[in-house]
Amino acid sequence: MFASALTLAVSAASLVTGASAAAAASTLKDAASPLYFGAALGVGHLTNASDPTFAKLAKQQFSAATPENEMKWGVVNPEAGVYEFADADTIVAFTKKNNMKLRCHNLVWHSQLSPYVTALPLNKVKAAMLQHIKDVVEHFAGDCYAWDVINEPFNDDGTYRDDVFYQAMGEDYFEIALKQVRAYDSHAKLYINDYNIEGGNAKSDAMLALAKKLYKKGLLDGIGFESHFILNELPGDIAENMERFTKVGLDIAVTELDIRYNLPETATTDSQQATQYASVVNACQSVKRCVGITVWGITDLYSWIPQTFTGQGAALLWDDDYKKKPAYKAVINAFVD
């Protein structure tokens, strides 16, 4: 009798503690401040009159945004000399109205690239890249907190990806692209963004070596760790690896975080995922120049994962019905602690 009364008292006390920590910061952005907490936003979801919850959560919960597709070369510049900025402009206006930082994404990437570029003879690729960067960066100049200038340039073994930019210019394309962005937007922080560089390995070693060279030339400000993780397979050395980059003088950002697994979602996967989201927050918080975290979407309903990885999903902080998952609270508590 006495023992069970004590048990009750203890669990009531821990409930109160949990409740007051959550009350102290009731949104992701408040919990994360002074770091930012961002989400990738797709314009189709943001302007969907049948789903007002998406835009409501975007402004309530997040202090930064990345256009999910709307600034990619193939979307914004489908043909030589043709620019379609309307969808990106909608997202830019949303971030301004709601006082959010904007991570502009991206300028030079082998994927979602317009066919006109891959069809060019190699000796015309440099001019096309310079023109694209000039036109796009000028259009958004002053709006971007950061630009992902080069996206996913490495293979997993640390060699350069053999895309049209590398074939046309070799390693020089990094410098040429970064200089061009600086020339048309002197305020944006310039990033290289990639996946599988979150822990120490051949790919992050290669990124570090490149980053040092570009930082010394004053052309690079930060590295984006995409952080598309698989449940129970997160690297154990994220903070140490971030520090290798920040020691150079660079900022680090977690730019595309999600944690996927083979469905179904269960109490066990929810709880493992919550712990692992918290560990990413803790890593970023422990590194002085980790400036913020962006998750790659809001709800599992619209996540890119199920279409890309068959049978996988449930990678984000809200489920298909916009119910907060345990990972949501774990992120808030990790920031608050």
Ligand X SMILES: *[C@@H]1O[C@H](CO)[C@@H](O)[C@H](O)[C@H]1NC(C)=O
Q: Where are the beta strands (DSSP E) in 130-268?
A: 146-151, 189-194, 222-225, 228-230, 251-262
Cα R_g (the chain), whole angstroms = 21
Q: Which of 70, 240, 256, 265 is catalytic?
A: 256
- Token pair belonging to 101: 């930082």
Which residue, 44 or 235, has its beta carbon nearer to ligand X? 44
Query: Using CB under 6 A, which of 30, 51, 135, 237 touches ligand X?
Result: 51
CB of 46 to ligand X, least distance (A): 8
Residue 135 within binding range of ligand X, rule CB under 6 A: no
Longest CA–CA separation in the chain, Å: 84
Q: How many residues bind ligand X (CB under 6 A)?
A: 5
Q: Which stretch binds ligand X (CB under 6 A): 43-51, 233-241, 277-285, 303-311?
A: 43-51
Name beta bridge partners: 36.
292
Q: What distance in Å separates the CA atoms of residue 312 and residue 328, rounded to the nearest whole number? A: 19
Q: Which stretch binds ligand X (CB under 6 A): 40-48, 187-195, 241-249, 287-295?
A: 40-48
Q: Which stretch binds ligand X (CB under 6 A): 20-28, 48-56, 261-269, 322-330?
A: 48-56
Residue 50 within binding range of ligand X, rule CB under 6 A: yes
Specify the residue for token string 């314009």.
Answer: 43
Residue 90 within binding range of ligand X, rule CB under 6 A: no
Q: What distance in Å separates the CA atoms of residue 228 and residue 333, rounded to the nearest whole number? A: 21
Query: Using CB under 6 A, which of 29, 45, 189, 203 touches ligand X?
Result: 45
DSSP string, 246-287: HTTT-EEEEEEEEEEEESPP-HHHHHHHHHHHHHHHHHHHHS
Which residue, 44 or 74, has its beta carbon nearer to ligand X? 44
Asked if residues 135 and 167 have their Cβ atoms less than 8 Å apart, the reply is no
Buried/exposed 177-203: b ≥16 CB within 10 Å, e otherwise: bbebbbebbeebbbbbbbbbbbebbeb
Specify whether 256 is catalytic: yes
Q: Which stretch binds ligand X (CB under 6 A): 47-55, 113-121, 256-264, 282-290?
A: 47-55
CB of 228 to ligand X, least distance (A): 21
CB of 299 to ligand X, least distance (A): 10
CB of 183 to ligand X, least distance (A): 36
Residue 48 within binding range of ligand X, rule CB under 6 A: yes
Q: What distance in Å separates the CA atoms of residue 257 and residue 229, rounded to the nearest whole number? A: 7
Residue 319 within binding range of ligand X, rule CB under 6 A: no
Residues that bind ligand X (CB under 6 A): 44-45, 48, 50-51
> Which residues are catalytically annotated?
256
